[in-house]
Amino acid sequence: MIEFTSAPSITVTVNGRNAHRQINAATTLAEFLRDDLGLTGTKVSCELQVCGACTVLVDGHPVSACTYLAVDAAGRSVRTVEGLAPDGKLDVVQQAFINNFALQCGFCTPGFVMMTHALLEEIPDPSRADVMHYLDGNICRCTGYRSILEAVLSVSDAPLDNA
């Protein structure tokens, strides 16, 4: 006979604030952020860790929130696109995407922005090839990639606001 335990209780620091919830053990981080915390900037598209739309940072590292379990984020720090502009002022990466027309429908933009933050933390002054390689797992269906590439390169080696 299989015994089922009660739903786990987790505490996660999300955008600098502690979130304590009881959740289903199979809840993904994307579901936790969107459904439990109302942070809808994290988009869910492929649910297979292929498109990058759901990229968030966990302890500073990019993860696909659509396949990352929320229980695995317990005790960790999660940063979403909403956490980049806590006072309502866009950070340098978000502003660069606007300035370079690096979005059209905007669905993929949060994932690209979060991956760009991870890239710039690791390589403050990336080459064009570095950017192309790092963003390879993020897909955009409407803008093309030239403007996204230009946006990222325009802020390379710039201090990241709110980082």
In whole angstroms, give the CA distance from residue 99 to residue 150: 10
71 & 14 share domain: yes
54 & 106 share domain: no
pTM: 0.91
pLDDT tens across the length of the chain (163 residues): 565 556 889 999 999 999 999 999 999 999 999 999 999 999 999 988 889 999 999 999 999 999 999 999 999 999 999 999 988 899 999 999 999 999 999 999 999 999 999 999 999 999 999 999 999 999 998 887 999 999 999 998 666 654 4
Query: How many structural domains comprise the chain?
Result: 2
Alpha helices, DSSP H, located in the chain: 29-31, 92-99, 109-122, 128-134, 146-155
In whole angstroms, give the CA distance from residue 127 to residue 135: 12
80 & 96 share domain: no
